[in-house]
Structure 1
Amino acid sequence: MELTVGQFASAVDTTIRTLRYYEKIGLLVPGKKNDANQKIYARDDLKKFYNIQLLKTMGWPLIEIKQMLEETAYSFGEMVEMQEAVLRDKRNRINESLEMIARIKNVMNETGNLNNKELMLLMNAIRLEEDQRMILQQYFPATTVDKIMPKNKQQQPAFDLLNRRLLSFFQTSIDIGLRPESQEVQHELQEVLDLVPLSVNELFQSERSLDKQSEILRALLPDDMAEFFGEAIHAFYNNQFEGRGE
């Protein structure tokens, strides 16, 4: 079998442009020429083309396909196993992204559209939840972490709305120049904590310093918000405990 680039493109239902690109990157290079000095594709090129298409359907990028086909003893069986793992990981990440989008849309349905800053804050908060849980578990018992950041899907909508409220309020407070110890900020913090199924004593255990609380916030929030939130919590702690002599 000897086919010119146009004939080969028709035979395998692709475009001349695609074949030219494959040749340019060294993926499929015709090794012969006919009497008219035209590059021609042989039977081995046909087999290689279909192998390339097979690997493409499995999600391999062209540069990796080229490397694999250049190996003298590549195994399709091993490739299948490897790519299955890659695709499962991609599917998991897609599912996580779709879940995040669903949660964001639920918040927007409940509260109206978010501005860009609010949207990014909330998306990052959801995206980093597992990292946040790991950090919190260094300082709180697992039962307390579950109250702060519930994994139960039935509890998540309420948590997301609370999270949105808190993030938006503190960002607005920073933007308009409120002080962390101001009455408005302290009142909002008290209202939010009243909605969390967690006692103040659990949140501020005597053996846990507020410096550690601030360390958690710095890991979870933008720097300006973490600093503001940390100062607000210090003020809240002083009002709740030092005022009572505890």
Structure 2
Amino acid sequence: MELTVGKFASAVNTTIRTLRYYEKIGLLVPGKKNDANQKIYARDDLKKFYNIQLLKSMGWPLIEIKQMLEETTYSFGEMVEMQEAVLLDKRNTINESLKMIARIKKVMNETGDLSNEDLMLLMNTIRLEEDQRMILQQYFSATTVDRIMPQNKRQQLAFDRLNKRLLSFFQASIHSGLRPDSQEVQRELEELFALIPVSRNELFHLDRPLDKPSEILKALLPDDMAEFFGEAIQVFYNNQFEGRGE
């Protein structure tokens, strides 16, 4: 089999432009010419083309396909194993992103359109839930943390509503110049804590004293909000302990 670029493109259902690009990057270079000095594709080129398409369908980028095919001892079996792991990881990432989008849309359907800032903050709180869990584990028992963090879709929606309210309130408080120890802020915290599905005794029985916002909290929120949130929470807990005579 010896075909010019046009006939080869037709035979393999691709375009001349694609074949020219493959040749340009050294991925598939015809090694023969006919009597008219035209480059021609032989049977080995056909086999290589289909190998390229196979690897492309598995998600390999062209530059890596080129490197693989240049190796004299490359193994399709090893490629399959490697790419399976990559694709599974991508699938997990996509699935988690779709779950996050579904949760965001539920909140948006309830509250209407969110501002860009509110939307990004809420998306980050969902994306970084494991980091939130790490923050809580610094202060509460594992059992209490499991009860606070959502375990099913119903709890996720309640948790997202709570986060939306918290983020919007603290953002508005900062913009309006309220102090973390103001009555408005502390009253809102009182109402928010009442919505958390754990007892007051669990909430106020800390495994360690509250300190300034951790690096994880600063990673979750803008610096000013992380600082404000940390101070407000600290004041709230101090007030609770004073009220109990501790």
What secondary structure does 1:235 align onto? helix
| Structure 2: tracts of 5 or more residues without a match | none
**TM-score, normalization: structure 2?**
0.93
Partner amino acid for 2:2?
A: E
**Structure 1 equivalent of residue 176 of structure 2:** 176
**TM-score, normalization: structure 1?**
0.93
**Structure 1 equivalent of residue 213 of structure 2:** 214
**Structure 1 equivalent of residue 238 of structure 2:** 238
| Structure 1: tracts of 5 or more residues without a match | none
Partner amino acid for 2:20?
A: R
Is 1:53 the counterpart of 2:53 in the alignment? yes
Partner amino acid for 2:147?
A: K
Give the deviation of 1:207 after TM superposition.
4.7
Query: What is the CA–CA distance in structure 2 between the aligned matches of 1:225 and 1:68, rounded to whole Å?
Result: 49
**Structure 2 equivalent of residue 189 of structure 1:** 189
Is 1:136 the counterpart of 2:136 in the alignment? yes
Does the aligned pair in 2 maintain the 1:217–1:229 contact within 8 Å? Answer: no
Does the aligned pair in 1 maintain the 2:118–2:168 contact within 8 Å? Answer: yes
Does the aligned pair in 1 maintain the 2:32–2:39 contact within 8 Å? Answer: yes
What secondary structure does 2:37 align onto? coil
Distance 1:181 1:218, change over 3 A: same
Is 1:118 the counterpart of 2:118 in the alignment? yes
Query: What is the CA–CA distance in structure 1 between the aligned matches of 2:4 and 2:49, rounded to whole Å?
Result: 14
Partner amino acid for 2:171?
A: Q
Query: What is the CA–CA distance in structure 2 between the aligned matches of 1:2 and 1:184, rounded to whole Å?
Result: 82
* Offset from partner CA, 1:190-215 (integer Å, 9 cap, x none): 1000111234443343551111x622
Is 1:92 the counterpart of 2:92 in the alignment? yes
What secondary structure does 1:178 align onto? coil
170-179 or 117-126, which deviates more? 170-179
189-198 or 149-158, which deviates more? 149-158
What pairs up with 1:15-164 in 2 under 5 angstroms? 15-164=15-164
Distance 1:131 1:200, change over 3 A: same
Query: What is the CA–CA distance in structure 1 between the aligned matches of 2:93 and 2:207, rounded to whole Å?
Result: 38
* Offset from partner CA, 1:23-62 (integer Å, 9 cap, x none): 1111101112222222111111010000001111111111
Query: What is the CA–CA distance in structure 1 between the aligned matches of 2:170 and 2:131, rounded to whole Å?
Result: 22
Does the aligned pair in 2 maintain the 1:104–1:123 contact within 8 Å? Answer: yes
Partner amino acid for 2:160?
A: D
What is the aligned-residue RMSD (CA, Å)? 1.6
